[in-house]
């Protein structure tokens, strides 16, 4: 799923560029300059995103038993400003910035996962990473980040099944009460993003939710479709 070659990448302690798009720090704000084309219908996507972290988190967590895949919420809570010229779009609100890294393909250890991020009543953030491995037991991260960036574990409740997507991607959400699907934002042959209403740590919250089905990613039909959505740029 890599769009660009090694020659298109450059980085330093303060900036990171892939092709014409780049990230850089300006004071305490992370600025993301976007200059791309959408696929499969070509349309210019150009503008900037400015992220103001309320706190930074240096911690990372292993997602698999072999500790070959890690996740870290660099900014568990942030104010985000989006200013695009193509298309003409402006937005600002609450946001989040994290990092995933792995030393092997995700289809090696994982069968599926559900991930969610919720804004809590105290202004903090709750993240649930519910991972199913191909070998080994399930792994669960249920973390609550205070506004100052400090983190504590909390008891996540049982899984509830949400309606499948149009591409038949299964999705589940841990919640004390039955979660409610509010809106599907992205629906692909192997991955989905949605807004879900759920109950976490005793609070009814609006949750940003994603699901990955690795078996669907591994299908030949999906592999043949990927170049149309993620074309190689030399």
| C-alpha triplet 77, 175, 200: angle, nearest 5° | 40
Q: Residue 6: its pLDDT value, please?
A: 87
Q: Residue 154: its pLDDT value, please?
A: 96
Q: Residue 226: its pLDDT value, please?
A: 87
Q: Residue 227: its pLDDT value, please?
A: 85
Structure tokens at 85: 């010229």
Q: Residue 120: its pLDDT value, please?
A: 95
What pLDDT tens digit does each residue of the chain (234 aa) get?
578 888 999 999 889 999 999 999 999 999 999 999 988 788 999 999 999 999 999 999 999 999 999 999 999 999 999 999 999 999 999 999 999 999 999 999 999 999 999 999 999 999 999 999 999 999 999 999 999 999 999 999 999 999 999 999 999 999 999 999 999 999 999 999 999 999 999 999 999 999 999 999 999 999 999 888 888 887
Q: Residue 132: its pLDDT value, please?
A: 98
Q: Residue 1: its pLDDT value, please?
A: 57
Rounded to whole angstroms, the Cα distance separating 73 from 184 reads 23
Rounded to whole angstroms, the Cα distance separating 148 from 132 reads 31
* Nearest alpha carbon to residue 100 among 180, 173, 27, 191: 191
| C-alpha triplet 192, 198, 201: angle, nearest 5° | 125
Q: Per the confidence metrics, is the pTM higher than 0.95?
A: no
Task: Name the DSSP class of 227.
Answer: H
Rounded to whole angstroms, the Cα distance separating 49 from 55 reads 18
């Amino acid at each position: 799923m890599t769009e660009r070659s090694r020659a298109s990448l450059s980085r330093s302690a303060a900036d990171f560029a892939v092709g014409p798009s780049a990230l850089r720090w300006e004071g305490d704000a992370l600025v993301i300059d976007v200059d791309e084309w959408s696929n499969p219908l070509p349309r210019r996507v150009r503008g900037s995103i400015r992220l103001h972290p309320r706190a930074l988190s240096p911690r990372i967590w292993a997602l698999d038993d072999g500790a070959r895949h890690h996740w870290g919420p660099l900014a568990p809570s942030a104010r985000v400003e989006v200013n695009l010229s193509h298309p003409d779009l402006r937005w600002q609100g609450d946001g989040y910035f994290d990092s995933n890294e792995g030393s092997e393909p995700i289809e090696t250890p994982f069968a599926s996962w559900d991930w969610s991020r919720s804004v809590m009543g105290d202004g903090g953030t709750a993240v649930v990473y519910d991972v199913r491995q191909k070998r080994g037991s399930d792994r669960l991260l249920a973390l609550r980040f205070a506004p100052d960036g400090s983190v504590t574990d909390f008891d996540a409740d049982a899984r509830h099944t949400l309606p499948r997507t149009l591409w038949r991607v299964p999705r589940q959400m841990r919640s004390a009460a039955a979660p409610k699907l509010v809106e599907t934002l992205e629906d692909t042959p192997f991955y989905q993003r949605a807004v879900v209403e759920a109950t976490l740590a005793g609070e009814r919250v609006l949750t940003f939710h994603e699901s990955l089905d690795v078996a669907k990613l591994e299908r030949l039909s999906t592999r043949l479709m990927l170049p149309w959505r993620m074309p190689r740029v030399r």
